[in-house]
Amino acid sequence: MLRTVQLLLLALPTWSMVNNADLIWFDDDGKPQNYFARQPYPEGFNQTSKLVVNQKFPLLWEVKFEFFDNLEELVIDDCGVNDVLPGTFKDLQPLANLSLALNNIKAVKEGVFNFVRVKNLNLEHNRIQVVSPRAFDNMPHLERIVLDFNELRRWSGEWFFNCSRLATVSITHNFLEELPPKAFRNFWLGVEQVSFYFSYNKIDRIDREAFAGSGNFGDLFLDWNDVPRVDGHTFGKLTSVEHLNLNGDSLRCLSEEFINGVLNKTRLVSVLENPLKCDCLKELKKRQGSVRAEVVYSPEQTVDC
C-alpha cells in the first residue's frame, strides 16, 4: 500500500485529468479500471499488465514500479511531464512498452533510461532538444525507439552504445541537419538488419564517412529532407539496404558511381518528387534492367523528357 501511495505523492501531482482517476489499470478481462491514490488496492491491481498514468506530473522521479510484477505496458502520455529524473524507471520489470509521448520533455539525461529493461520506448511529441551522449547506453532489451516530432538538431553516432537488440530507430519530424562520420557505429551488435527513419528533417549534409562501418539496413528513410546529391563514395560505404527512400529531396541526378556502386546493394530506391534532370532520368531508365534495385520515380517527372 505504502509504495503506491508513494508512487503518486513523490511525483508531485498538480491537477487531475478528465476522469479524475490517478491510474487506469486493466483487470483479468482486460477491462480498464480506475484507481485513486490512497484508496485500498482492488483485487488484481498489482497483477495488471498495463498501467496508464492519468495525472499531471511536471517532474517524474522515484516511482516504485517493482510492485507490479506483470507489467508489460506503462503509458505516461500527455501528463505534462517536463523532466524525468535519473533512476525513475530503475525498478521496472522486463517491460514491453514504455510510452512518454505528448509531454514537454526537453532533454534526455543520462541515468533515466540506462539499464531499463524495455523493448519499445516511445518519446514522440515532446520538445526534446538535447540527448546526452550516454542517455541510451546499455539498454539490453531495447528493440525500437521512437523520437518523432521533437526538436533535435543533431544526430550522434555515439548514441545507443551496447543496445544490442535495437532494430528500429525513428526520428522523423525533427530538425536534424547532418549525418556525421560513423553515424551508425553502435548498431548491428545482435541483429541482422536495422531500420532508420529520418523522414521530415532538414538533412542537407551526409558526411563521406557517415555509413562507414554500417551493416545491413532494412529501411533507410531520408525522405523529405534536403539531400542535394547521392554521392557514390558516401553511399558506396553501404553494405545493403532493402528500401532507400529519398522522396521529396533535392536530387537532380543520380551519379554514375551511385548507379554502379549502390543500386546493386538495394532492393528498392524511391526518388519521387525530386527535381531530377531529364538526361538523368533517361540514363536511369536505360540502366533499369541491368541493376538489382527497382527505382521508383514520379510519372510526371518523365513528362517533358
Ligand X SMILES: *[C@@H]1O[C@H](CO)[C@@H](O)[C@H](O)[C@H]1NC(C)=O
Does position 167 interact with ligand X (CB under 6 A)? The reply is: no
Residue at grid coordinates 526534446: 128
Which candidate, 274, 86, 247, 228, places its Cα nearest to that of 172? 247
Whole-angstrom Cα Rg for the chain: 23
Selected range binding ligand X among 12-20, 39-47, 103-111, 239-247, rule: CB under 6 A: 39-47
Selected range binding ligand X among 19-27, 234-242, 266-274, 288-296, rule: CB under 6 A: 288-296
Measured at the alpha carbon of residue 234, what is the angle toward residues 217 and 150, in degrees to the nearest 5?
A: 60
* Category of 161 on φ-ψ map: left (φ > 0), alpha (ψ -120 to 50) or beta: beta
Does position 92 interact with ligand X (CB under 6 A)? The reply is: no
Does position 240 interact with ligand X (CB under 6 A)? The reply is: no
Distance of closest approach, residue 263 Cβ to ligand X, in angstroms: 7
Which candidate, 131, 136, 186, 133, places its Cα nearest to that of 164? 186
Give φ, ψ of 46 to 5 degrees: -75, -5
Distance CA 174, CA 153 (A): 7
Selected range binding ligand X among 26-34, 38-46, 171-179, 266-274, rule: CB under 6 A: 38-46
What does the per-residue mask of binding to ligand X show for 186-225, with x meaning CB under 6 A?
A: ----------------------------------------
Q: Pull the grid cell for residue 232.
A: 557514390
Q: Site for ligand X (CB under 6 A): which residue of 27, 62, 73, 283?
A: 73
Does position 292 interact with ligand X (CB under 6 A)? The reply is: yes
* Residue count of the chain: 305
Does position 72 interact with ligand X (CB under 6 A)? The reply is: yes
Q: Which residues bind ligand X (CB under 6 A)?
A: 41, 43, 46, 69, 72-73, 96-97, 120, 138, 140, 162, 260, 264, 290-292
